[in-house]
Every structure is written in structure tokens, then in C-alpha cells.
Amino acid sequence: MKALLQALVSGLLIGGIYALIALGLNIVFGTMRVVNFAQGTLLMGAMFMVYWLNELGGLHPYWSPLATIPVLFVAGYIIQRAFVSPLLARDRAREPMSVLLVTLGLALVLENIALALFSADFKTVQTELSIATFKLQGLIVSVPRLVGLGAMLLTCVVLYLFLTRTDLGRAVRATGQDREAARLMGIDDDKIYGVAYGLSTALMAIAAAVLVPFFYVHPTVGTSFLLKVFVIVVLGGIGSMPGAALGGLIVGAIEGVVGLYVQAAVAQIVLFGIFVAVLFVRPMGLLGVEQR
């Protein structure tokens, strides 16, 4: 029983990080109905920034968002304006699937440039917290992972407040619901799309800051996270923010529990089974709404 709880706790803790990335994807999908395949490579880029800021500047990863959030926000804003916006304008009549391919191309370019520049070595940042743990009711809790979960929850709250309590946030939601109507209300929809995109990539700065103290930094790390996050997004409901959080925690928990009792391979198979079952029973995901 204790081992089960232990596995559950470890799984939930890493699930928080998954959820953070899924949240980023869903902000973009929720407003623009497009998938950003470069999300993972942007996370990777942010992790390298955190690594080098620590290596060269001695900056603690937890302080890095002060520097990395603006950089990633601007990167997201530029990506939206340069690559996504023209395609949204061109494919107004049909679903903008070409955006998906452009971001896929961008991911390919960025990841392989990183491989060429940084080589395939695994880099890590040791902080005083990296291996710190404490016991709670006899369960071992990893401190950096707990910080990760906390960061996810805090981000959810801030994001929720932003989207519901500020004019800019309301404009993002309005544009997501009906772009034409929002435009008629005087909202600069292009700017709002840029902001939403920047917001989603800025979340990767937070994810990177909490990941680096306990996870390796590598050119393909972002993609490996992203692929898992796709499963989460499909499970939780594409475009749904609570779905992203729930899906992340569920996947983390399954990985932890099944991986403990049987083996990691079985966890994959169980995950796959659940994935297919959800597809058939609720194709729009656990908390998703059907998109027409």
C-alpha cells in the first residue's frame, strides 16, 4: 500500500510538468485551432538557456524565468506573426492544417541545429535542491518535483485570473470563441493571436526552470516530452485547460504506478489501451467539447 502511494506521488509530481506543457499547447489550440509542433523544441531551447545562465552566470534555475520568460514570449510572438498568421489568413475557409506542418518544419530545424551545436551530450545542473527529499507520512517526496507541481498549479491560477479578470485575457477568450465577432468589437485579433502564442511559449520558460534542477538537458528532450504531451492532450481534451492538467496528472500517475508494479513497458501498453478506449468512448477527450 505504501509502495503504491509512493509510486502515485512520484507519478503525480512529474505529471505536473507534463500538464504545464499541455497547458501551453492548449492555449494556442483553444484560440487558433492549430497545434504547435515546435512547443517541445522551444522547451528544449528554454532548458539550454537555463543551463547556460547557470553555467556562465551562476544564476539559480528558479530565478531564470525572469530572463527566459520575456525571450520565449517574444519568440512565440514572432513565430505567430511570421509563420502562423499568414497561413491563418490564407486558409480562412478550411481548417488551417498547414500551420501544423510549418511548426513541424520549425521543430525539425531547431532540434537538429541544437544537435549540431550542442552535440548529443546529456547536461545537468546540480543545485542544492536537486536531490533533496523529505518524508511526509512515510512517503518520500522529491523537493524539485514538488516545486514543479507547485509551479504548475500556480501557473494555472495566474492564467485563470489573467483570462477571466483582465481585459487582455478576456480579449484572448473572445477571439478564441469567435474571431470575426471579436474583430467587430474592436479587438486587434492579430495582436491577440500573437499574445496567446507568446503566452503559450512563455509557459515553456517556467517548465524549463523547474525541470532543469532534476532532469537532463539534451537537444531531443523537448520532443520526448512533447510526444507524451500529445497523448495527454488527446486524453484530457484538445483545447481544454482543465483537461490538460487532469490528463497530465493521470498519465504521470499511470506511469508511476504501473511502472512500479510491473515494468515501464506495461505502463506504455496500459497507457495505449486507455488512449484507444478514450478515443472510442469520448473522442473529444475527458474534458473536451466537440469541435465542429
28: contact with other proteins by CB under 8 A: no
106: contact with other proteins by CB under 8 A: yes
CB of 206 to other proteins, least distance (A): 23
Report the residue from 43, 125, 212, 231 that binds other proteins according to the rule CB under 8 A: 231
Q: Between 135 and 292, whose beta carbon lies closer to other proteins?
A: 292
Q: Between 194 and 285, whose beta carbon lies closer to other proteins?
A: 285
Q: Between 34 and 245, whose beta carbon lies closer to other proteins?
A: 34
Q: Between 211 and 251, whose beta carbon lies closer to other proteins?
A: 251
Cell match 518535483: residue?
145
CB of 60 to other proteins, least distance (A): 32
98: contact with other proteins by CB under 8 A: yes
CB of 81 to other proteins, least distance (A): 13
Report the residue from 21, 35, 88, 202 that binds other proteins according to the rule CB under 8 A: 35
CB of 92 to other proteins, least distance (A): 10
From residue 190 to residue 229, the character string flagging contacts with other proteins as x (rule: CB under 8 A) and all else as - is ---------------------------------x---xx-
Q: How many residues does the chain have?
A: 292
Full 3-state SS string of the chain:
CHHHHHHHHHHHHHHHHHHHHHHHHHHHHHHHCCCCCCHHHHHHHHHHHHHHHHHHHCCCHHHCHHHHHHHHHHHHHHHHHHHHHHHHHHCCCCCCHHHHHHHHHHHHHHHHHHHHHHCCCCECCCCCCCCCEEEECCEEEEHHHHHHHHHHHHHHHHHHHHHHHCHHHHHHHHHHHCHHHHHHCCCCHHHHHHHHHHHHHHHHHHHHHHHCCCCCECCCHHHHHHHHHHHHHHHHCCCCHHHHHHHHHHHHHHHHHHHHHCCHHHHHHHHHHHHHHHHHHCCCCCCCCCCC
101: contact with other proteins by CB under 8 A: yes
262: contact with other proteins by CB under 8 A: no
Distance (Å, rounded) from C-alpha 184 to C-alpha 177? Answer: 13
Subset of residues 62 to 91 that bind other proteins, contact rule: CB under 8 A: 83, 86-87
Subset of residues 234 to 253 that bind other proteins, contact rule: CB under 8 A: 234, 238
Amino acid (one-letter) located at 190 = D
Which residues of this chain interact with other proteins, rule CB under 8 A? Answer: 29, 33-35, 83, 86-87, 93-95, 97-98, 100-102, 104-113, 115-116, 223, 227-228, 230-231, 233-234, 238, 263-265, 268-269, 271-272, 275-276, 279-280, 283-284, 290-292
